[in-house]
Structure 1
Amino acid sequence: MKQLIYCLALLCPLLSNCQQITIKGNVINEEGNPVSAATIILKGTTISTVANAKGEFTLPNTKLNDSIIVSAIGYQTAVEPNNMRGLITVILKRKVTQLDETVIIAYGTSTKRFNTGNVATITTAQLATQPLLNPLAALHGRVPGLVVTQSSGAPGAAIKIEIRGRTSLESSASGNDPLFIIDGIPFSPGNEVVSQLRSSANNPRSASQGGLSPFALINPADIERIDILKDADATAIYGSRGANGVVLITTKQAKPGRTLFTVNAYTGISRIATKAELLNTQQYLQMRREAFANDGIAPTIANAPDLLLWDTSRYRNFVNDFIGNSASNSNIQLSLSGGNSNTRFLLGTGFNRETAVFPGSFAASRASANIKLTHNAPSQKLSLTFTASYAAAVNNSIKTDLSTYINLPPNFPALYDAQGNLKWSEGGVSFANPLAEQLRSYKAINENLNTGLLLSLVLTKALSFKLNTGYNLFRSNERSLHPAASLDPASSSLPFSNFAGNRMGGFIIEPQLEYQRKWKQLRFTGLLGATAQQNAAETESVNGLNYSSDLLLASMAAAPLLIGSNSENRYRYTALFTRLTMQLNNRYLLNLSARRDGSSRFGPGNRFGNFGAIGFGWIFSKEKFLQNQSILSFGKWRSSYGITGSDQVGDYRYLDTWQNTALTYLNANGLQPSRLFNPNYGWEVNKKFETALELGFFNDQLFFSVAWFQNRSGNRLVNYSLPAITGFSSVLRNWDALVQNTGWEFLFTSQNIQTAKISWSTTVNMTLPQNKLLAFPGLDASPYRNNYRVGQSLSVIYGFRYLGVDPATGIYSYQDLDSNGLLNTSDYQLLGNTDPVFYGGVGNSVSIGQFRFSCFVEFRKQQGRNYLATQAATIPGRGMFNQPLLVLDRWQKPGDIATIQRYTTTTNSTAYIAAVTQLAASNAIFSDASFIRLKNLACSWSLPQAIAAKMKLQALSIQLSAQNLFSITRYAGADPENQNFFVLPPLRTVTGGIQFSF
């Protein structure tokens, strides 16, 4: 009996393995969509089946320990083991080549292979290697046709981006801004600076910080990809909103599969990447003494306390003292994701804190949370995607950039007295104390909410309906307190406070119908949609004056005197749009798009405009005459032409508006006109043309593309001069000015090594742009006559030709063009421009086993403002201002050849002062500002998968990255990017972190 039991015990597993079962399951892709026509084979046999249209399959007569092999065209083959229930969900990963990568286009997707427009993409992998607070900073040098300039290295500083050159004749930078869309919802603030208290209007010194960027509230860790749309084919369907290009930001998607919890944390330090080299104490004193000697003036305590009163042996390096500290940054991101083919979810949260290099406790912190839910009906005919993200940032950074004060004399008195209080004088000589800024509390609380709902409904096999709707809200609340201790006691100023608020919100509704059909070798897609959008903006600013106590500074009600202002704007926008796309034999491509826009920013008779584009593509590598060769694996020619417009002129500018006046009548405040009525101006018109060639060699291991573009912007909106008798200097109107941007864009990618354990890829991009004002009738009689020249760039250098320092007089000299002995605007000449000659970047990515390395180098060839641009305000020798080391090359005696005119302390010399004034209107303040910058360096190590599985981890990696490591430049100034001597340059940042999931 025992022997029988033992035999049965041994036979049971064998009998179990021999048990016949039926495997049932479904095949889906990473997005959770069914993969129809997938082939399922029982491993080691010829038994197979094919998945139906819903991705479902049944495979009978299998055993519990059998495995299945699942394959489908365009996907990687997967091997899936059976389970005890015989119920399996197989997730196939796409087999993606460079040409088959998804491209996000307006209201849909395409691939690089079949796209007829110009779209550049920054992926989450590229974002992950850069420890950034602002996602726009990740675009530096990585996109052909895109120039990125960081205004300051201060936390939350604004970043300017410009796609394919400048078009606006107005000084406002927003006229050149692209359209920003996050998950299909326009970002209400765009890229406009959102700070009021850090603007030049309220604080001239603080303008150097460039205000706060609204994109500092967008968490880079939440972003899946950033797509930049450039040409007419890609942007015309956005109509007027796409005149300056479009930036599409797509956040990370919920993916099906096991529930996954991911932690990503890093910390690091930052310091300024470039330091201004200033005179030491002895050099500074020599400059001041020489200036007095040149003028024949004896220094006194009144005009030279730095020479006679202050300690001449003292040396303070204010670059190190004010901006030389180390800043810290820390970041942690948590996410939870999972789901199945029908319902998927993604929850995330993050916290970031970044301190400043200024002395004191200043920091910018951001907390964010996001949720994304996707649900597909079992029939796969209905799907819903809900997205919501919220971020709040608290910026306690100093309001005034202390870089403004780095040119204090190196023997400046101690800034604190023996009791630790701020000093305001020494030896009876008073001075402004820059560290008063540390006592002036500044706080900005910014909030951003993005919500969106996308409904997709399959009506028939060929027809589907989508409804995209969403709401964006941005709020800013600022407060700046000036206590008594931060004010000079010798002045009559009492404690005061500044308050400001800003609220921008907008909603959008976009219903869409899409029709897809295939007839033999012809694929046809038709899209019809509409847009209804409304934005609202409200601002208020209040100054509380003459507080009796510092304890009351945070209260408006406690201020004895309040001065305030507020504004409210409404913007409405409607549109109808359509797109027709055709592919014939997978080689002939046609894309047609059209849009009719309506904007509330124009008068009643000019509110609507029509825009459209046509794009062609020919994949000539599919032709028979190129089939029997192995070198050229892909070849495509594409071209596009279209018309877009622009309404970036501000709200209500066609109306006559009124504002308060300080004048009173019968003790009542009056009103005065602030703008003239002009309902006749209308849309600016941008005509875009592009042609491009894309080539892949050796099975696309080498890929090269070249594009030439021409954008012409006409019917420009300008300020037209009016006679003074009208009471206004100008009125906004359309003018026949024509601005042209042309250029070449090159992109080269190479898969240098590709083996099982080693891979190495290289990417190179370069742009050669040209900007030109083709026409401007009546320019010489307009307010722009000294700013622009027909036939030249909008960034033209137009002024006096600098001839250097006159060896005989030691004064700056300029060419007298008409030889009349006078220098005036009739002597202005064309002297170049500040547009980049070329720019781009080079990136390398290397993978060796578990190690990953990447580096990126940005380069730019350009002219820019140099240190001489500051000379009009800080003449070497006149006033107690330190100077760059470059001023040592000055004129001292007749016959000297120098770059700096003789030192002086006086304003009595008319010729000398005139020469300094003319300097700012000459080409002397411009010089080579080209640079090559190691922008990013990153390395990481991943734990082997087998070890990670034993530790119950899905993955684990350790990362080290650095930003702005060094620059190679001959620039005569602090930093060649922002080109401002008194602005905090970009910071060098080094971080280390860990990422794991389970």
Structure 2
Amino acid sequence: MVKKLLLLLMLFSVLASAYAQKRTITGTVTDKGTNETMPGVTVIVKSNPSNGTITGPDGTYSLEVSENAKFLVFSFVGMQKVEKAIGDQTKIDVALASDTESLDEVVVVGYGTESKRLLTSSISDVSLREIEEVPTANIDEALQGKTAGVRINSNSGTPGGGISVRVRGMSSISAGNSPLYVVDGIPIITGDQGQVGFSGQNIDALSSINPSDIESISILKDASAAAIYGARATNGVVLITTKQGKAQKTKINARASFGIEQMWNKPDLLNSEQWLEYQNDLTGNNINPGIDTTNTDWIDEVTQIAPISNYEVSAAGGNDKTKYFLSGSYFTRKGIVKSTAFDRLSGRLNLDHRFNDKLNFGANISLSGSENNRVEGDQSLHAPLAVAISLPPTYPVYNSNGEYDQSGPYANPVPIIEDAVNKANAFRTLGNAFMEYKIIDGLKFKTNWGYDFYMLNEHSYDPPTTRQGNQTNGMGFETFSRSSNFTSNNTLNYIKAFGEHNINLLGGYSFEKYNRVSSFIKGVEFPHEYLEYLESAATIQDAYASVNETGTNSYFGRFKYNYQYKYILALTGRYDGSSRFSDNYRYGFFPGASVAWRISEEAFMEDIDFLSELKLKGGFGITGNDRIGSFRSLSLYTAANYAGVAGIMPVQIANPDLKWETTYQSDIGLTAGFLDDKITVDISYYLKKTKDLLLDRPLPPSSGFTVLSDNIGEMENQGVELTINANIIEDIWSVNFNISHNKNKVTKLYNGQPIEDIGRGNQRIAEGEPISHFYGYNALGVDPSTGYMVFEDVNNDGQLTDADRTIIGDPHPDFIGGFTNTVNYKNFELNVLFQFSYGNDIFNATRIYTESLGVSGDNQSTNILDRWQNVGDQTDVPLATTTPNPITKIYNNVESSRFIEDGSYLRLKNLSLGYKFDQQVLDKLGLNSLKVYFSAKNLLTFTKYSGLDPEVNYAGNDDVVMGVEFFTYPSVRTFTFGINIGI
């Protein structure tokens, strides 16, 4: 018995000794400068480098060590290495100090984060802190001029209107060219969800998100980075991260700003005296303007100096367990065109709770409601701004009995502004909930569930006091759309260090379900101008309702390896399935691979002191584009009315072989840092080739159909991007400069047939040429003997026909970019951003009417004062006449190079000057921070373009109609004063 007890005691002693030889050390690693947690930090036992781990996405680690272990070593690229004595501790927290200043920050990538030094692909990151003082309704607008390779255009100055974003050119003709937007890991609904057309004045779903809630934006530009998002990544991916709480005492920030907006470029039009003189020349009459001649400035009647204001309050804080960020804001902006406005009320709550060392969970949710008041624009005869430009000044606003004068050739714009109603009310909730669980050291499981709900109601009414409403005794529209996107992302992430080898493995599964329900009703014949809703309409003229559902099912993965932080390899892949395609091509695989060599870490670079970083990187990947209408591969039927009897009829022929557009992209780049990264340079070259373009090809009439959706085209983009960051004077003056060049070319179309006569600019898509170049007659000038325009006879057949049309312009710029200067001196802060575009042409379609010289009844530009009037006159403005050239039979205002202008511009996009009060003042006021500032937007524009604005496009976000102005609502100049208070 005693022997047995002794044996048991010995066994217990051995087990206890063995247990004592191992213990687990846990902790959190943070950045000493920012107090942010640091993922990807290597933690090893000094005496045994093979025993180590890497901190997870939240900066935490867990490492089992032996009893003999004395020190832990913490290292991260660009940070000072730290050794910590273990002693009898089981929890060791470390704050790492920055070793260099530049490329050391963490960048958000697909389903994770990465040290910027270790990036192998082309990713641009943008912090919104420097533009917080320039209030804007739209995220995209805040990015203009900030990053190379991304062209962002404000299509119009409409409050809350749409923005065009193109990452490394256009890769599609009909399947969309806007990037995929992902907020806190959840793809979101974007684009115009409205149904009442306002010709380019789109309602942008992104305007429902408050830009001030955003912490950072990463733009995945090349395929090796974007392939992790597979079938929707061809046009780039914009990853948006919202602000999170921190382990700190609650900090409250409040900001308020007030300002005005104004038209920066008023068109020069004829006054009444000049108009009558022009009419005399045109008709041969001799009308003398009297002292009582009406001289209405219609532009002044419809425009205004408009107010803009923004109010925000936020609170952030927490402890080691729970962190939170809470915000609320109210943004309101009136438009320079009267009756236009955008108002948004939004709120956000982000929570993160650590239950224990293994489990943490949280949620991000935002709510917003907005109202967009619009007026018709561009291509409408009832558009106030278009009519104000077109209506001759000799017509009054009111007639002799005090009623609106409607005697002019176009509708009086004033009652449209004062009486017509066009409201769009949107409600959006965007949220996600996540849970992360550490299975073992280095291995974590994360599940993220998100829901995006967007509802839009449009209410439109034209009373009989307007010319349009008078035609039907009142006309009203009521539309409703409800869109939702349900998403689930589930990932396993394994991070491990094996001595000098570091690996990061990610595998995941996701699914999405998109649903849209919409309805539309139009009514006429209203009993009274104040009864504007459809219940008062005597006749319902049109009505319809529809529902649409689509879904995606995806598997994805990424393998990242580096050796000694010098040689880096990244492999990604995604296997996507989409309900938009038939069973034959429902799934597609989209791989990506990239490598990087940090040359500066090699031994032979040690003596080159001025070079702090030198990295060569390259990658290749395949991405897709599935943004076509649902069910394009199927046979479709619709309802039909057969002499009052309900029936169905076919409307689409099936194509079971319809598949994704596929883009093959290669990328090579060089990153260099000089003088301890005081100057950094990043240059990249890329080549994108898109195949299987989704287009409609013609069918023979005998088929009973006109077109069939098919994969029948190819396109390519190639370009160069350059970004330079310079910290010229430490903590005082820093500069960012970026410039990029992209060359677009269509390489294949169906049977080589061009697509012609697109939009107001007579644009054309043809093999060997950039998409949507301008195509028309080449104007050679005015014949001094006749006053008629002379056009080039391209084929030299002695006639002027359609065969003589040729390429007359290109809307694609040769270069785009931005130049930012940030200066901090004592308590003052100055931020100046210049944005530029060079080499693009604009078709000024407005001039077809305002310089028609007789073909139309529009008021004319003052340019026509230089028109041809007598034989021998040397001018580039033709004569005033209502007839075509008697020889060529061509009118002077035909679509031609006469209306092509250089659209290059340099714009002082943003200027902000702020003053931060010093600590003595703050202590007296009991505040943490106090800042007052002045900002200006679109302060100066340098351009040869004669139109209202070189940035706008009448067709909005249209993929094939670009670079055309046609009575378009221009961008505005904004002046703002504001105050930021921190408590």
Normalising by structure 1, report the TM-score. 0.85
In structure 2, the partner of 1:924 is 898
Shift of residue 519, structure 1, vs aligned partner: 1.2
Q: 1:637 aligns with which of 616, 619, 624?
A: 616
- Between 402-411 and 503-512, report the one with greater CA deviation: 402-411
Shift of residue 825, structure 1, vs aligned partner: 3.4
1:751 aligns to 2:727 (yes or no)? yes
1:828 aligns to 2:801 (yes or no)? no
* CA RMSD between the two structures: 3.0
Deviations 1:837-878 (A, max 9, x none): 111011100111211111010111133234466416872234
Q: 1:861 aligns with which of 821, 838, 845?
A: 838
1:510 aligns to 2:483 (yes or no)? no
Q: 2:636 aligns with which of 657, 676, 701?
A: 657
Shift of residue 795, structure 1, vs aligned partner: 3.2
One-letter amino acid of the counterpart of residue 979, structure 2: I
1:809 aligns to 2:783 (yes or no)? no
Superposition pairs of residues 403-552 of structure 1, within 5 angstroms: 403-417=385-399, 420-425=402-407, 432-437=411-416, 438-487=418-467, 492-552=471-531
Q: 2:735 aligns with which of 728, 749, 762?
A: 762
One-letter amino acid of the counterpart of residue 751, structure 1: N
One-letter amino acid of the counterpart of residue 876, structure 2: T
Shift of residue 677, structure 1, vs aligned partner: 1.8
Q: Is the 8 A contact 1:36 1:52 kept in 2?
A: no
In structure 2, the partner of 1:194 is 193
In structure 1, the partner of 2:342 is 364
Q: Partners of 1:690 and 1:488 in 2: how far apart?
A: 54
Normalising by structure 2, report the TM-score. 0.87
1:556 aligns to 2:535 (yes or no)? yes
- Between 392-401 and 767-776, report the one with greater CA deviation: 392-401
Q: Partners of 2:177 and 2:60 in 1: how far apart?
A: 50
1:965 aligns to 2:939 (yes or no)? yes
Q: Is the 8 A contact 1:487 1:495 kept in 2?
A: no
Structure 2, unpaired ranges of 5+: 1-25, 46-58, 64-72, 83-90, 378-382, 953-963
Deviations 1:366-419 (A, max 9, x none): 10010000011232x111120000110012343445221232445332212466
Taking only the aligned residue pairs, the percentage that are identical comes to 28
Q: 1:988 aligns with which of 970, 973, 977?
A: 973
The structure-2 alpha-carbon separation of the partners of 1:651 and 1:870, relative to structure 1 and needing over 3 Å to count, comes to: farther
1:179 aligns to 2:164 (yes or no)? no
One-letter amino acid of the counterpart of residue 176, structure 2: G
Q: Is the 8 A contact 2:448 2:488 kept in 1?
A: yes
Q: Is the 8 A contact 2:387 2:410 kept in 1?
A: no
In structure 2, the partner of 1:722 is 699
Q: Secondary structure at the match of 1:882?
A: coil
Deviations 1:281-315 (A, max 9, x none): 2222222211113xxxx58xxxxxxx689977432
Q: Secondary structure at the match of 2:276?
A: helix
In structure 1, the partner of 2:745 is 772
In structure 2, the partner of 1:402 is 384
Q: 1:135 aligns with which of 139, 153, 156?
A: 139
Q: Secondary structure at the match of 1:651?
A: coil
Q: Is the 8 A contact 2:199 2:376 kept in 1?
A: no
Q: Partners of 2:60 and 2:846 in 1: how far apart?
A: 71
Q: 2:852 aligns with which of 875, 896, 899?
A: 875
Structure 1, unpaired ranges of 5+: 1-23, 40-50, 56-69, 79-86, 200-205, 300-306
Deviations 1:575-614 (A, max 9, x none): 1111100011111010001111111111121111111111
Q: 2:891 aligns with which of 911, 915, 939?
A: 915
Shift of residue 265, structure 1, vs aligned partner: 0.8
Q: Is the 8 A contact 1:233 1:642 kept in 2?
A: yes
One-letter amino acid of the counterpart of residue 378, structure 1: N
Q: Partners of 1:476 and 1:292 in 2: how far apart?
A: 51
Q: Partners of 2:274 and 2:631 in 1: how far apart?
A: 56
In structure 1, the partner of 2:591 is 612
One-letter amino acid of the counterpart of residue 330, structure 1: S
Q: Partners of 2:81 and 2:316 in 1: how far apart?
A: 24
In structure 2, the partner of 1:739 is 715
One-letter amino acid of the counterpart of residue 523, structure 1: N
Superposition pairs of residues 648-687 of structure 1, within 5 angstroms: 648-661=627-640, 664-665=642-643, 667-687=644-664
Q: Is the 8 A contact 1:720 1:731 kept in 2?
A: yes
Deviations 1:480-530 (A, max 9, x none): 1222333479x5521221111111110111111111111111101111111
One-letter amino acid of the counterpart of residue 572, structure 1: G
In structure 1, the partner of 2:52 is none
Q: Is the 8 A contact 2:754 2:765 kept in 1?
A: no
In structure 1, the partner of 2:50 is none
One-letter amino acid of the counterpart of residue 166, structure 1: M
Q: Partners of 1:834 and 1:407 in 2: how far apart?
A: 25
Superposition pairs of residues 936-951 of structure 1, within 5 angstroms: 936-951=910-925
1:207 aligns to 2:199 (yes or no)? yes
Q: Partners of 1:531 and 1:451 in 2: how far apart?
A: 16
Shift of residue 678, structure 1, vs aligned partner: 1.6
The structure-2 alpha-carbon separation of the partners of 1:488 and 1:522, relative to structure 1 and needing over 3 Å to count, comes to: closer
- Between 545-554 and 524-533, report the one with greater CA deviation: 545-554
Q: 1:955 aligns with which of 929, 932, 955?
A: 929
The structure-2 alpha-carbon separation of the partners of 1:52 and 1:286, relative to structure 1 and needing over 3 Å to count, comes to: closer
One-letter amino acid of the counterpart of residue 276, structure 1: P
The structure-2 alpha-carbon separation of the partners of 1:308 and 1:727, relative to structure 1 and needing over 3 Å to count, comes to: farther
Deviations 1:334-379 (A, max 9, x none): 112211011111111110111122235x432110010000011232
Q: Is the 8 A contact 2:849 2:860 kept in 1?
A: no
The structure-2 alpha-carbon separation of the partners of 1:609 and 1:308, relative to structure 1 and needing over 3 Å to count, comes to: farther
Shift of residue 832, structure 1, vs aligned partner: 4.4
Q: Is the 8 A contact 1:508 1:534 kept in 2?
A: yes
Q: Partners of 1:310 and 1:728 in 2: how far apart?
A: 62
Q: Partners of 2:721 and 2:645 in 1: how far apart?
A: 62
Q: 1:288 aligns with which of 279, 284, 292?
A: 279
Q: 1:217 aligns with which of 189, 197, 208?
A: 208
Q: Partners of 2:61 and 2:717 in 1: how far apart?
A: 49
1:348 aligns to 2:347 (yes or no)? no
Q: Partners of 2:562 and 2:42 in 1: how far apart?
A: 22
Shift of residue 127, structure 1, vs aligned partner: 3.0
Give the count of matched residue pairs: 903
1:696 aligns to 2:673 (yes or no)? yes
The structure-2 alpha-carbon separation of the partners of 1:946 and 1:406, relative to structure 1 and needing over 3 Å to count, comes to: same
- Between 122-131 and 447-456, report the one with greater CA deviation: 122-131
Q: 2:125 aligns with which of 102, 121, 144?
A: 121
One-letter amino acid of the counterpart of residue 241, structure 1: R
Q: Secondary structure at the match of 2:207?
A: helix
Q: 2:951 aligns with which of 953, 957, 977?
A: 977
One-letter amino acid of the counterpart of residue 512, structure 1: T
Q: Partners of 1:335 and 1:886 in 2: how far apart?
A: 52
Shift of residue 256, structure 1, vs aligned partner: 1.4
The structure-2 alpha-carbon separation of the partners of 1:319 and 1:76, relative to structure 1 and needing over 3 Å to count, comes to: farther
Q: Secondary structure at the match of 2:273?
A: helix
